[in-house]
């Protein structure tokens, strides 16, 4: 076997091991458990030492597994269901509704995700876990003629406040909205930010 093929095999094995750990964590979360990294490793049929080579803590694997478990897909997949000629407000609202629907669908997993993210930050303050910025960037791409760089940047960062688990849990837990009301309110807030950015 050539050294190149051997190296590729090692990379593939590492990818499979990482995915096995994430799949095991998702299975445990969906069963309503609050697993340790040791239990995740046992479920994935790998050693505890191996698990620690991929994730530094239970919080790290749970945070990533919870985010992946939201079934968000990719920005391209989500936007492909929208009319290619849609304006920036429609693109942003479409993305925000999609993210919100996935998070509202499983509130327990969403709560666990946020707890895991905050627990991870306490252990690793430099850690950054999140995918919303990719979706929002994609929604704004191709509309540079409507927004100058400063307004685009301000809008992008403003939208992170109304897209994601924090916005969903605020709507559900603080405002006590039902699922449909939460999604409608979040979508309204996102569209309002876009409109304000276009007229500023």
Q: How far is CA 104 from CA 27, 136, 169, in A?
A: 19, 18, 8
Instruction: Look at residue 11 in the predicted model and tell me its pLDDT.
Output: 54
Do residues 90 and 14 both lie within one domain? Answer: no
**CB contact set of 130 (below 8 Å; sequence gap of 6+):** 67, 117, 164
Query: Would residue 62 count as lying in a domain?
Result: no
Query: Three-state SS for 103?
Result: helix
Do residues 9 and 89 both lie within one domain? Answer: no
Do residues 78 and 12 both lie within one domain? Answer: no
Query: Would residue 82 count as lying in a domain?
Result: yes
The CATH number linked to 48 is 1.10.10
Do residues 108 and 17 both lie within one domain? Answer: no
Opening angle at CA 115, ends 164 and 102, nearest 5: 35
Do residues 45 and 109 both lie within one domain? Answer: no
Query: Would residue 160 count as lying in a domain?
Result: yes
| pLDDT block averages, 10 residues each, the chain of length 200 | 50 79 86 87 93 85 70 84 90 95 85 79 71 88 76 94 94 97 98 91
Query: Would residue 135 count as lying in a domain?
Result: yes
Query: Would residue 60 count as lying in a domain?
Result: no
Do residues 20 and 77 both lie within one domain? Answer: no
pTM attached to this predicted model: 0.73
Do residues 74 and 109 both lie within one domain? Answer: yes
Do residues 47 and 92 both lie within one domain? Answer: no
Do residues 193 and 100 both lie within one domain? Answer: yes
Domain ranges, residue 172 = 67-199
Instruction: Look at residue 42 in the predicted model and tell me its pLDDT.
Output: 94
Where a domain ends, among 11, 32, 55? 55
Do residues 20 and 72 both lie within one domain? Answer: no
Where a domain ends, among 32, 55, 78? 55
Query: Would residue 44 count as lying in a domain?
Result: yes
Distance, in Å, from the CA atom of 186 to the CA atom of 93, rounded to the nearest integer, reads: 9
Instruction: Look at residue 64 in the predicted model and tell me its pLDDT.
Output: 75
Instruction: Look at residue 7 in the predicted model and tell me its pLDDT.
Output: 45
Domain count, the chain: 2
Instruction: Look at residue 4 in the predicted model and tell me its pLDDT.
Output: 46
Do residues 140 and 195 both lie within one domain? Answer: yes
Do residues 126 and 169 both lie within one domain? Answer: yes
């Amino acid at each position: 076997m050539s050294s190149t093929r051997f190296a590729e095999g090692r990379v593939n094995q590492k990818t499979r091991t990482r995915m096995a750990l994430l799949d095991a964590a998702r299975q445990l979360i969906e069963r309503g458990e609050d697993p340790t990294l040791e239990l995740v490793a046992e479920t994935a049929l790998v050693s505890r030492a191996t698990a620690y080579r991929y994730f530094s803590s239970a919080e790290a694997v749970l945070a990533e597994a919870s985010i992946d478990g939201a079934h968000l897909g990719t920005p391209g997949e989500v936007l492909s269901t929208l009319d290619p000629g849609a304006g920036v407000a429609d693109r942003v609202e479409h993305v925000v509704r999609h993210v919100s629907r996935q998070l509202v669908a499983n509130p327990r997993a969403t709560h666990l995700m946020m707890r895991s993210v905050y627990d991870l930050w306490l252990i690793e303050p430099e850690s950054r876990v999140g995918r919303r910025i990719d979706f929002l960037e994609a929604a704004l791409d191709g509309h540079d003629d409507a927004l100058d760089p400063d307004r685009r940047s301000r809008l992008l960062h403003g939208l992170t406040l109304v897209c994601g688990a924090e916005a969903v849990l605020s709507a559900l837990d603080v405002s006590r909205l039902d699922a449909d009301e939460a999604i409608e309110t979040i979508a309204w807030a996102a569209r309002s930010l876009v409109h304000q950015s276009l007229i500023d």
